[in-house]
Amino acid sequence: MNPCPYFFLLGKGHGGSFRLLSPSVFWSSDLQLRKRGPGGGPHLLCRHSVPGLPLPPSPGLSPAYQGAGRGQGAGRGQGALRAAVTRRRRKNMAGVAGPATGSGAAGGDGDDSLYPIAVLIDELRNEDVQLRLNSIKKLSTIALALGVERTRTELLPFLTDTIYDEDEVLLALAEQLGNFTGLVGGPDFAHCLLPPLESLATVEETVVRDKAVESLRQISQEHTPVALEAHFVPLVKRLASGDWFTSRTSACGLFSVCYPRASIAVKGEIRQYFRSLCSDDTPMVRRAAASKLGEFAKVLELDSVKSEIVPLFTNLASDEQDSVRLLAVEACVSIAQLLSQDDIEALVMPTLRQAAEDKSWRVRYMVADKFSELQKAVGPKITLNDLIPAFQNLLKDCEAEVRAAAAHKVKELCENLPMEGRETMIMNQILPYIKELVSDTNQHVKSALASVIMGLSTILGKENTIEHLLPLFLAQLKDECPEVRLNIISNLDCVNEVIGIRQLSQSLLPAIVELAEDAKWRVRLAIIEYMPLLAGQLGVEFFDEKLNSLCMAWLVDHVYAIREAATNNLMKLVQKFGTEWAQNTIVPKVLVMANDPNYLHRMTTLFCINALSEACGQEITTKQMLPIVLKMAGDQVANVRFNVAKSLQKIGPILDTDALQEEVKPVLQKLGQDEDMDVKYFAQEAISVLALA
C-alpha cells in the first residue's frame, strides 16, 4: 500500500546523510528518489532499533511458562512442555552450570527435543527486547529441533498466545512464519500457521501488518484448493469484517491470492467483501482497497472487471479524499490493460481525464508520474487523442511538482509514441512546451527536464537535434543551477551518438570547469564521476589539453571524498587511455606529491599507487612506484608509514619475487618494529599476507 506518492521527496530526508545534500543534487543524479511509504520509512526501523546494550540482569525471573497456552486443552504436548519447563527450573535452582545443562541437551534424541521449547519460553519472556528478538529470529532452529508435530501442537499455540510484544519482535515473528510451512509438516499443515499470522495482521504498526500479509500471501500458495476454502478464505472474511480498521486494511491484500483458486460461489463472496471495503467508512481502508484494486482486477473474469471493478474504480477516483483518488490512478493502469480499446474509451477514460484535471495537485502529480504506464496501457490511439493534450497541460501545470514529474516523463512519452508521425508530433506538440520549461522558474523542473532532454536527440535525429535541441542544451549548460548543468553533462553520451560531442565541446568546457570548482563538494564529486565518460567521448588530446589539470587538482582537494574519487578516476582513465599515457602524464605528477609538505597529499600518492598499480602493470609498478613507496617508509608521520605497509600489501602480488624478497621484505620488517602500534600491526599483516615471514 502506498497511499502517498513521493511528492518531491528529493532533498532532506529523515535525518542522516541526506541532510548533507544540497536538495537537488539528488533530483538530478540517477539515484532513486526515496519513496515515502506508509509510515514505513527508515525512521520506523530507527524507532525500534535497539543498540547492543549489555544484557541487563534479570534476577528472580518469573517462573517460566506460567500461563502460557492458556485457553488450550491440556493435551499430551502441553504435559510434555510443562515437564520440560519444570525440569529446567529445577536445574536452575540447583545452580547447575553451563556444561551440565548442555549434557542434558546433548543426551538422547528424545531428550534434546524437550529442551528447546523451554529455552524459547524463557527467552521469550526475557525482559530484554533484544534477547526476545534473538530467540524469535532463531525460531526455525527451535522448530527444527522440536520436530513438525510438536511445532504444530506446542510452539504455534504458544506463539499465537504471546502476541502482545513489541512491534520489532512481532515483525520478526511475522517474517519467520512466512517460511514455516516445511517446519510444520508441509503444505498439508500450512493452515496451522494461520492463527498467529491472523493476529499479526490486526496489529496497529503498519510494518508488522504488512509483513504478516506478505507471509499470508506466501502461505496461501502452499494451501491446497480445499484447505484454501476451509481455512484461508474464512480468515480473509474475518479480517475483512473486523471491527478495527487494521484488520480490514490487511484483508485488502489477501483477496487477489485466494480468488483464482476459489470455487464460483466463494468467488462471488470474495468480490462482495472487496466491494464493501472499497466503500469503507475509514479512509485508511479505502486507501488499502484502492491500492489493491489493480491487482484484484487482474485475477477477475473480464465480465466482473467491467461490471464490478469499473464502478468501484470510478467511485474511488472521485473519493472525497485526494489520498484515495490518487491511488485510483495507479489502478487505472492495470484496469486499462485488461480492457479492449472501446471499453477503455467508455469505461476508463472519463475518469482518467477527470484525474488529469483534478483540483488536488497530488492527483495530477500521480497522473504525471504514472504517465508512461498509462500511455502503454491505453494504447496509441487514445494516447494521441487524449493523453497528449493532458500531458501538455501537466507540463504547464501551476504546481512545480506536477511540472517536474511531467518533465521527467518527456523522453519516455516520446519514445513510446508510434513511429509513424512521431517526429512531427514531437516537433509540433511537445517541443514548444519543452522550450518553455528550459526557462522555468523552478530549478527542480529545469533539473528534471535536463535529466531526460538529451535522450530526445536519438529520437529526433541529427538535423532536428542541431537545429532545435542544441540551443536548449546550450541554454541549460549555462543554467544558474549546478544540478541542471550536471544533468546535461551526465547524459552527453546520448548526444554524442547523434551529432558528436564536438558540437558541444566549446560550451562544455566552461560548464565542466565551473562544476569542477563548485563550492559544494557533492557537485564536484558528481562531475568527477563523469570524467571517464567525458574523456572517452572527447578523446585523449582534448582531455590532455583541457581536463587533465582538473583531474590532478582534485587530488589535493580539501575534502577526502573528492580526493578518493579523484584517485579512482585516475584508475579509470588509465584503463581508457592505456599505460603509456599513464606513464607520461599521470604517474610523474602523482609521484611528485610524495614530497609534498602536507602529509595528506603524501598519502594521496600512496592511494593513487594502490589504485594505479594494477592498471599500470608490473614494470611501471616496480621501476617507478615501488622506490617511492619504500622511501616513504621513513616518513615522520605514522599514518603515512602504516599506509606504506598497506600499499606494499596491495602492490605485492604485482611485483616479482626478487623485488619482494630484496626490497619489500626488509622495509616491512623494519616497519614491523615501528614504535607506533598501528604501523606495526599493518606491517605484520602485510608480511603475513605476502607470506614474507
Partner 1 sequence: MSPGGLQLPPVSLGGSPRSTDVPSSEQPELFLKKLQQCCVIFDFMDTLSDLKMKEYKRSTLNELVDYITISRGCLTEQTYPEVVRMVSCNIFRTLPPSDSNEFDPEEDEPTLEASWPHLQLVYEFFIRFLESQEFQPSIAKKYIDQKFVLQLLELFDSEDPRERDYLKTVLHRIYGKFLGLRAFIRKQINNIFLRFVYETEHFNGVAELLEILGSIINGFALPLKAEHKQFLVKVLIPLHTVRSLSLFHAQLAYCIVQFLEKDPSLTEPVIRGLMKFWPKTCSQKEVMFLGELEEILDVIEPSQFVKIQEPLFKQIAKCVSSPHFQVAERALYYWNNEYIMSLIEENSNVILPIMFSSLYRISKEHWNPAIVALVYNVLKAFMEMNSTMFDELTATYKSDRQREKKKEKEREELWKKLEDLELKRGLRRDGIIPT
Give the interface segment with partner 1, choosing from 337-345, 393-401, 405-413, 645-653 (CB under 8 A). 393-401
Could you tell me which residues come within 8 angstroms of residue 549 by beta carbon, excluding any fewer than 6 positions away?
A: none
Minimal distance in Å, beta carbon 51 to partner 1? 7
Nearer CB in complex with partner 1: 13/157: 13
Could you tell me which residues come within 8 angstroms of residue 200 by beta carbon, excluding any fewer than 6 positions away?
A: 163, 170, 173, 174, 177, 208, 209, 211, 212
Q: What's the residue count for the chain?
A: 693
Nearer CB in complex with partner 1: 49/385: 49
Is residue 5 part of the contact set for partner 1 (CB under 8 A)? Answer: no
Is residue 9 part of the contact set for partner 1 (CB under 8 A)? Answer: yes
Size of interface with partner 1, in residues (CB under 8 A): 66
Give the interface segment with partner 1, choosing from 11-19, 333-341, 466-474, 638-646 (CB under 8 A). 11-19
**Residue 306 burial (CB count, 10 A):** 18
Nearer CB in complex with partner 1: 58/688: 58
Q: What span, in angstroms and rounded, lies between the C-alpha atoms of 116 and 468?
A: 74
Nearer CB in complex with partner 1: 105/509: 105
Q: What span, in angstroms and rounded, lies between the C-alpha atoms of 234 and 228?
A: 9
Among 5, 7, 125, 212, binds partner 1 (CB under 8 A): 7
Give the interface segment with partner 1, choosing from 198-206, 450-458, 646-654, 685-693 (CB under 8 A). 198-206
Is residue 250 part of the contact set for partner 1 (CB under 8 A)? Answer: no
**Residue 68 burial (CB count, 10 A):** 21
Is residue 29 part of the contact set for partner 1 (CB under 8 A)? Answer: no
Question: What is the rounded radius of gyration, in angstroms, for the C-alpha atoms of the chain?
Answer: 33
DSSP string over 429-481: IIHHHHHHHHT-S-HHHHHHHHHHHTTHHHHHHHHHIIIIIHHHHHHHHT-SS
Among 5, 28, 36, 622, binds partner 1 (CB under 8 A): 36
Residue closest to 589 by CA, chosen among 607, 605, 575, 610: 605
Residues 479 to 538 in contact with partner 1, rule: CB under 8 A: none
Q: 3-class secondary structure for 651-689?
A: HHHHCCHHHHHHHHHHHHHHHHCCCCHHHHHHHHHHHHH
Q: Grid coordinates standing for 310?
A: 469499473
Among 161, 166, 295, 343, binds partner 1 (CB under 8 A): 166
Minimal distance in Å, beta carbon 546 to partner 1? 36
Q: What span, in angstroms and rounded, lies between the C-alpha atoms of 607 and 323?
A: 52
Q: How far is CA 35 from the centre of its chain?
A: 9
Is residue 3 part of the contact set for partner 1 (CB under 8 A)? Answer: yes
Give the interface segment with partner 1, choosing from 100-108, 152-160, 445-453, 666-674 (CB under 8 A). 100-108
Cβ-contact 446, 484 below 8 angstroms:
yes
Residues 601 to 660 in contact with partner 1, rule: CB under 8 A: none
DSSP string over 207-248: HHHHHHHHHHHHHHTTS-HHHIIIIIHHHHHHHHT-SSHHHH
Among 17, 71, 94, 97, binds partner 1 (CB under 8 A): 97
Among 282, 314, 392, 583, binds partner 1 (CB under 8 A): 282
Nearer CB in complex with partner 1: 182/379: 182
Cβ-contact 333, 377 below 8 angstroms:
yes
Residue closest to 158 by CA, chosen among 225, 81, 210: 81
Residues 544 to 603 in contact with partner 1, rule: CB under 8 A: none
Is residue 52 part of the contact set for partner 1 (CB under 8 A)? Answer: no
Residues 353 to 392 in contact with partner 1, rule: CB under 8 A: 359-362
Among 401, 440, 479, 635, binds partner 1 (CB under 8 A): 401
Is residue 35 part of the contact set for partner 1 (CB under 8 A)? Answer: no
Residues 137 to 156 in contact with partner 1, rule: CB under 8 A: 138, 141-142, 144-145
Among 14, 35, 502, 631, binds partner 1 (CB under 8 A): 14
Please say whether the dihedral angle defined by the alpha carbons of residues 322, 324, 329 and 332, taken in this order, is positive or negative: negative
Q: What span, in angstroms and rounded, lies between the C-alpha atoms of 606 and 663?
A: 17
Q: Where does residue 58 fall: left (phi above 0), alpha (psi -120 to 50 degrees), or beta otherwise?
A: beta
Is residue 323 part of the contact set for partner 1 (CB under 8 A)? Answer: yes
Cβ-contact 357, 364 below 8 angstroms:
yes
Is residue 324 part of the contact set for partner 1 (CB under 8 A)? Answer: no
Q: What span, in angstroms and rounded, lies between the C-alpha atoms of 411 and 407?
A: 8
Q: What span, in angstroms and rounded, lies between the C-alpha atoms of 522 and 510?
A: 19
Minimal distance in Å, beta carbon 78 to partner 1? 22
Minimal distance in Å, beta carbon 472 to partner 1? 26
Give the interface segment with partner 1, choosing from 33-41, 234-242, 411-419, 572-580 (CB under 8 A). 33-41
Nearer CB in complex with partner 1: 242/652: 242
Is residue 116 part of the contact set for partner 1 (CB under 8 A)? Answer: yes
Q: Grid coordinates standing for 153?
A: 501442537
Nearer CB in complex with partner 1: 2/392: 2
Give the interface segment with partner 1, choosing from 202-210, 408-416, 471-479, 663-671 (CB under 8 A). 202-210
Phi, psi for residue 221 in degrees, rounded to 5: -65, -25
Minimal distance in Å, beta carbon 321 to partner 1? 8
Is residue 330 part of the contact set for partner 1 (CB under 8 A)? Answer: no
Q: What span, in angstroms and rounded, lies between the C-alpha atoms of 613 and 607?
A: 10
Nearer CB in complex with partner 1: 147/432: 147
- Give kind and range of the element (H or E) at residue 388: helix 388-395
Is residue 83 part of the contact set for partner 1 (CB under 8 A)? Answer: no
CA dihedral 33, 37, 43, 49 (to 10 degrees): -120
Give the interface segment with partner 1, choosing from 302-310, 320-328, 370-378, 460-468 (CB under 8 A). 320-328
Contact residues: partner 1, CB under 8 A = 3-4, 7-14, 23, 36, 38-39, 41, 43, 46-51, 55-59, 97-99, 101-102, 105-106, 112, 115-116, 119, 123, 127, 131, 138, 141-142, 144-145, 166, 204-206, 244-245, 282-284, 287, 320, 322-323, 359-362, 399-401
